[in-house]
Amino acid sequence: MRANWRQEPCCWWKRAAFYLLGLMLTCLGVAVILQTDWGLDAWNGVFAGLAACTPLSLGGWSMIVQGSFWVIAALLCRRAQWLCVIPIALKGLFLDLSKAAVARWAIPPGFWPGCTCFLLGYLLVALGTGIYVSTGFAKMPIDGLMLALAERFCWRVQRARLAIELCGFAVLLFVQGPFGGGTVLITLTIGQVVAAASTFSQKWLFAGGCTDTAGSGTRAIEEDIHGDRRI
């Protein structure tokens, strides 16, 4: 099926544009949430916590940690997914650009302004992730690590992801990253929201007649959320 990409160059460029758009929206959403005191998801919170106490930037720590995930997954599977280097570099760059872009935003004090800003950022993260996942291009190494753990220890994918997130929470608390009610909300609901956003973006992406080569990936995500898929 992937041979159709070469036969339909316009569809390839459309996917590439969606891929970049999704990554940019995801990073912009993280930067927007950082402007509030509601807290980030575990691993993005780790990046922010490390950036706050070291000279390295948010994007720099993202590349280091995601690169570590990539190395661990490669060791567990005894093979390296070299294309994962692309989203590692792109996310690091987009995180720093997004943080600089929203640095001058001044959120009025009070519950509702902070809540509105958080929900806007959360929507951007979920929509952006759904868009870039639906293209079928290289995904972030944390997803590869999730699959590698499931394969190595014969776990459900859901259990492997939970183990990664629990480790993220532990590191988040250790580095004193941004933690709040939003951290819990994102952790408990992001999977379902991303699956819905991915389904929506697929319909949009393939509305022009492009071949659906990424559909199996989206269905796999939906199966993972319900814990029905085994590796």
What does pLDDT average to in each consecutive run of 10 residues of the chain (231 residues)? Answer: 46 85 95 92 94 95 95 87 90 95 84 91 91 83 83 82 87 93 86 79 66 48 43 34
How many angstroms separate the CA atoms of 148 and 81, rounded? 11
Contact (Cβ atoms closer than 8 angstroms) between residue 29 and residue 190 = no
Is the pTM here over 0.75, yes or no? yes
Closest CA to 45 of 189, 194, 180, 192: 180
Q: Taking Cα atoms as reference points, which of 152, 154, 143 lies closest to residue 220? A: 143
